Structure 1
Amino acid sequence: MKTKELLIGACLCILSACNMPGKGTGLDVYEALDYCNDQVERTLTELKGTDGTIDYTMMPRNIMDSLNVWHCRKATKDEWCSGFWPGVLWYDYEYTGKAAIKEQAEKFTEPLKFLSQIPAYDHDLGFLIFCSYGNGYRLTNNPEYKQVILDTADSLATLFRPRVGTILSWPRNIEMFGGHNTIMDNMINLEMLFWAAKNGGNPYLADIAVSHADKTMKYQFRPDYTSYHVAVYDTLTGDFIKGVTHQGYADNTMWARGQAWAIYGYTVVYRETLDPRYLDFVQKVTDVYLQRLPEDYVPYWDFDDPGIPNAPRDASAACITASALLELSTYLPANKGSEYKDAAIKMLASLSSDQYQCGKSKPAFLLHSTGHLPGNSEIDAAIIYADYYYIEALIRLKNLIENKAVI
């Protein structure tokens, strides 16, 4: 990139604190973003059929450890990861400015429009639409994209239950734990509700987001600020029944990606409300995560798995957390902000090393994510949402280096 030569000195200076223990090398954010672009273009080439065309309804989802091509899934109402690949393309376009990448981002985004036109089938509409259409609108100001976001926010709002005060998770499977289920992942949906409320949607959407954040903050964390994956509430009274796990090791353990969703989600809630309660809370949720990380700052899939150090890692949790910490660092006094920024850089330095990057072995960005270990699904795999938050974090770090807004 033409800015790389001008900024590389400042980059190396800022990133000097990110040297990995025993490695003696730092992180070059531009080199990492160039790598992402190479992998994106490689993926686009490999997605072409024998006739040279691409099926834009088929989204890259994962590459298992023993394989070297993307397993793609059709963009349907029950495929929660479909928004991440279009989001990766939008971030790559933001970095490269390549018209060809923009065209591909538009074509992969379009198949998700139907989600704005049907009743909410599942709770993951923020992932699906804000990662795709949200980034698309941010970069193009396409009014059609804005309308899709607004309509989808209204659809998501139908899953909110005022008596409980949270958005219902898994509406198609409410029997799983016998009540109104709310999973920590749902915190990521709130950004779309806040955005819609500020951009022509119903102001009540922000009230829903605040209610969800408050109820989750009150009941979905233990006294030590580790989180439950699932909070189960009484459907009739709204009372909290129990905290359990679905994807973690056990009900009383800290599932890495769940804690990462919490860090990311409450960073967004603070940004949108400027309520100091959330800024104080997210630091406590973050600190317990950072205190228990292994040396390379990439967590095991669950911090309490008794198989550690032989348990699988979860690079996706590191990507989510790194991205959140780069934003969170900008809201804090210098010392605390630097602590969080430095931690994020250490995470990205590890993720950008040969140990975690796919390199030539696969067209994805990163190895060693864990999707759903108890379900024996996507264990030690390349997973698309890890790639999404990795490139998002790199873009945010680049913006910090260049003294631009993080978001």
Structure 2
Amino acid sequence: MKKIVVGLAVMLGFCTCTHKPSGTLDVNKALDYCAAQAQRTLTELKTDSGIDYTMMPRNIMADEHHWNCRKATKEEWCAGFWPGVLWYDYEYTQDKHILEEAKKFTNSLEFLSQIPAYDHDLGFLVFCSYGNGYRLTKNPAYKKVILDTADSLSALFNPVVGTMLSWPREVEPRNWPHNTIMDNMINLEMLFWAAKNGGNPYLYDIAVSHADKTMKCHFRPDYTSYHVAVYDTISGNLIKGVTHQGYADSTMWARGQAWAIYGYTVVYRETKDPKYLDFAQKVTDVYLERLPEDKVPYWDFDDPSIPNAPRDASAAAVVASSLLELSTYLPNGTGKRYRDAAVEMLTSLSSDNYQSGKSNPSFLLHSVGHWPAHSEIDASIIYADYYYIEALLRLKRLQEGKNVIK
């Protein structure tokens, strides 16, 4: 029966790797590969009239070989990842041409700091682009964009509930009065940064409140997470936990759990409160315990069609990056276990099973965007590439005896 199921998965194009990653990860080789692929993308984006810097690479479907680009708008939540990839590529290569391209793509997102928040994704959009740009260049104009955007994002905070509203557009049609999705944990980093870099100190309080309420209401007793927590706007109490992109309300959606691992690692970094370090380990351990041998999760850990289900390389990249940071905050035994797990994940992602290679100019294959909507299934997706190169750079710094967060 297993052979039949695996055969079906092969026919559908899903990755059927079930063995532990083999070989030694050469971080510089993997980063050289990313640099070459990024250059391929830039070449592909160039037309006779030049590059349209408002069009951002988003995905490449399994049967395609070129990026599908989307206009950088307030609705396009992934628009900050490609500029972020270029900033990371520049950090590694120090290539001045890449620096100029990173600046041009980043500048296309400045408008986000000048309009009211459309939804919670401003952290993804602006901190992945302008955040990395400021870290590497210290351009004061970038700092202003980040601070202004953090103020816009804070307008979504509901003090009665204690979290930021994720999707204003889903309040009426779904009867989700105040909805907060797990992805929102990633946007806290921009609030923390702004609070300590000249922004309103209240932004720190918002981030802590959001993390605390999410920790209380967004997780089941076994530390697996709901995708969406729906709250009453009058009492501030949790109404229900549901899913939007996972298999079912009761299942562990891989990327949602990845956001939780990454998010609480950041919250511990910024607060140094040990309760967040403990919680980050709890949400990590339930994820690690259920991984397949090659350390790249199925898109949802509870999809009944496993192993005839697609993997999600993006979740693996997010977790690998966060575990490399988390490992540095823990004693050698636990820290080494997390670091070793991250290296195994990156070893798999850097193999022929997951790298795009010559098939297309992305870094990675086999990610899942939104299974219930039949969108971006078993595709190359830009945020997988972003967190993959971030994780590689973090590992390189660790190998060189440097702080994982530069």
Match of 2:372 among 371, 374, 382: 374
Cα distance in 2 for partners of 1:224, 1:23 equals 28
Q: 1:47-196 residue pairs with structure 2 within 5 A?
A: 47-51=45-49, 53-175=50-172, 176-196=174-194
What secondary structure does 2:58 align onto?
strand
What secondary structure does 2:373 align onto?
coil
Match of 1:198 among 193, 196, 199: 196
What secondary structure does 2:276 align onto?
helix
Cα distance in 1 for partners of 2:157, 2:21 equals 49
1:222 is matched with which residue?
Answer: 220
Report the AA paired with residue 370 of structure 1: V
2:384 is matched with which residue?
Answer: 386
Cα distance in 1 for partners of 2:169, 2:252 equals 26
Cα distance in 1 for partners of 2:378, 2:22 equals 27
| TM-score between the two structures when normalised by the length of structure 1 | 0.94
CA contact (8 A) 1:177 1:232 kept: no
Cα shift at 1:403 = 1.0
1:11 is matched with which residue?
Answer: none
Cα shift at 1:404 = 1.1
Report the AA paired with residue 35 of structure 2: N
| TM-score between the two structures when normalised by the length of structure 2 | 0.94
Report the AA paired with residue 56 of structure 2: M
1:245 is matched with which residue?
Answer: 243
CA contact (8 A) 2:58 2:68 kept: yes
1:340 is matched with which residue?
Answer: 338
CA contact (8 A) 2:170 2:176 kept: no
Cα distance in 1 for partners of 2:131, 2:175 equals 32
What secondary structure does 1:235 align onto?
coil
What secondary structure does 2:335 align onto?
helix
Cα shift at 1:50 = 2.8
Cα shift at 1:70 = 0.2
Output one character per residue of 1:106-158: Cα deviation in whole Å (capped at 9) or x when no partner: 00000100000000011100000000000000000000000000000000000
1:306 is matched with which residue?
Answer: 304
Report the AA paired with residue 229 of structure 1: H
1:40 is matched with which residue?
Answer: 38
1:256 is matched with which residue?
Answer: 254
Cα shift at 1:171 = 1.3
Report the AA paired with residue 70 of structure 1: W
Cα distance in 2 for partners of 1:346, 1:165 equals 37
Cα distance in 2 for partners of 1:169, 1:87 equals 22
1:397 is matched with which residue?
Answer: 395
Identity of aligned residues (%): 76
Output one character per residue of 1:192-234: Cα deviation in whole Å (capped at 9) or x when no partner: 0000000000000000000000000000000000000000000
Cα shift at 1:236 = 1.4
User: CA, structure 1 residues 388+283, in 2 after alignment: closer, same or farther (shift >3 Å)?
Assistant: same
2:25 is matched with which residue?
Answer: 27
Cα shift at 1:237 = 1.2
Cα shift at 1:21 = 5.2
Cα distance in 2 for partners of 1:344, 1:177 equals 39
Report the AA paired with residue 312 of structure 1: P
CA contact (8 A) 1:123 1:171 kept: no
Cα distance in 2 for partners of 1:169, 1:114 equals 20
Report the AA paired with residue 43 of structure 2: T
Cα distance in 1 for partners of 2:22, 2:399 equals 21
CA contact (8 A) 1:184 1:262 kept: yes
Report the AA paired with residue 386 of structure 1: A
Output one character per residue of 1:330-366: Cα deviation in whole Å (capped at 9) or x when no partner: 0000000000000000000000000000000000000
Report the AA paired with residue 110 of structure 1: N
Cα distance in 1 for partners of 2:333, 2:342 equals 14
Long gaps (5+) in structure 1: 1-19
Cα distance in 1 for partners of 2:315, 2:105 equals 25
Output one character per residue of 1:355-386: Cα deviation in whole Å (capped at 9) or x when no partner: 00000000000000000000000000000000
What secondary structure does 1:232 align onto?
strand
1:6 is matched with which residue?
Answer: none
Cα shift at 1:60 = 0.1
What secondary structure does 1:126 align onto?
helix
Give the root-mean-square deviation of aligned CA atoms. Answer: 0.9
Cα shift at 1:177 = 4.2
CA contact (8 A) 1:297 1:350 kept: yes
What secondary structure does 1:66 align onto?
coil
2:361 is matched with which residue?
Answer: 363
| Number of equivalent positions | 387
Cα distance in 1 for partners of 2:228, 2:176 equals 12
CA contact (8 A) 2:20 2:295 kept: no
Cα distance in 2 for partners of 1:34, 1:167 equals 39
Cα distance in 2 for partners of 1:317, 1:365 equals 14
Output one character per residue of 1:82-118: Cα deviation in whole Å (capped at 9) or x when no partner: 0000000000000000000000000000010000000
Q: Which runs of 4+ in 1 moved over 6 A?
A: none
